[in-house]
Amino acid sequence: MIEAWKQRARQLKVETYAIYLAYRDPRVPWYARLFAAGVVAYAFSPIDLIPDFIPVLGYLDDLVLVPVGVALALRMIPENVMQECRERAEEAVAEGKPTNWKAAAAIVGMWVLLAVVAIALVLRVIGH
């Protein structure tokens, strides 16, 4: 049973990385690229919608939101593109954990931008 869970987790990792590769492919429609970028950013982000230290709910978002996002992204991306990206993702995962510092920087940048916007909105509301 535990081995089956490990296999599913590995497959989700490969699919998520394949979606990352597909997001960068110009054959993918703009709306699918935008959605895929959000899914990948959320999946690889160290910041969760519900923090992991909250019992049960903390991991529920990872167990539900990421697989649902992956499934929706897969429906938007052309199958031939996904097949190529899956092959490349399998190779990358087999060689070791893929590391992309540019993607990590983009994710951190996105969270910082969202924080700045949220603070600006709060200050605007308080100021009036």
Q: What is the pLDDT of residues 29-43, one digit of tens each?
A: 999 999 998 888 888
pLDDT digits (tens, 9 = 90+) for 66-79: 889 999 999 999 99
Tokens 């950013």: give the residue. Answer: 41
| Closest C-alpha among 52, 28, 57 to residue 40 | 28
- Band (pLDDT 50/70/90 cuts) for residue 62 is confident
Percentage of the chain beyond pLDDT 70 is: 85
Whether the per-residue pLDDT at 56 is higher than 80: the answer is no
Q: Which long-range contacts (CB under 8 A, 24 or more apart) does 90-98 make?
A: 90/14, 92/17, 93/10, 93/13, 93/14, 93/17, 98/17
CA-to-CA distance for 64 and 115, rounded, in angstroms? 24
- With 0-12 / 13-18 / 19 or more C-beta atoms within 10 angstroms meaning exposed / middle / buried, residue 86 is middle
Question: Is the model more confident about 100 or about 93?
Answer: 93
Whether the per-residue pLDDT at 61 is higher than 80: the answer is no
- Band (pLDDT 50/70/90 cuts) for residue 105 is confident
Give the C-alpha distances (Å, rounded to integers) separating 102 from 4, 77, 108: 32, 23, 10
Tokens 């990792």: give the residue. Answer: 13
CA-to-CA distance for 126 and 5, rounded, in angstroms? 48
CA-to-CA distance for 89 and 79, rounded, in angstroms? 15
Q: What is the pLDDT of residue 98?
A: 64
- Band (pLDDT 50/70/90 cuts) for residue 54 is confident
Percentage of the chain beyond pLDDT 90 is: 37
